[in-house]
Amino acid sequence: MGGGIYLAPGAKINENIEIGNNVIIGSNAVVTKNILEDHVTYAGIPAKKISDKGFVFSQNNDTEIKS
């Protein structure tokens, strides 16, 4: 698992899955394959990429959506 991953409520990740940095996993999504990209958003069953916008942490630890 990379750093800065946001798992929305109900999201599930299968065993032995790798996830990049600053990735958003949507509510009730089921991740069945590796997500090796950084700064992306996945949702659905099975989870699919829905956006190239993930998020980043600012220096004061606030979360910002990447644009």
44-63 residue pLDDT tens: 999 999 999 777 665 555 55
Q: Which two tokens stand for residue 11?
A: 């999201």
H or E segment to which residue 63 belongs: strand 63-65
Give the global pTM.
0.81
pLDDT of 38 > 80? The answer is: yes
Distance, in Å, from the CA atom of 39 to the CA atom of 20, rounded to the nearest integer, reads: 8
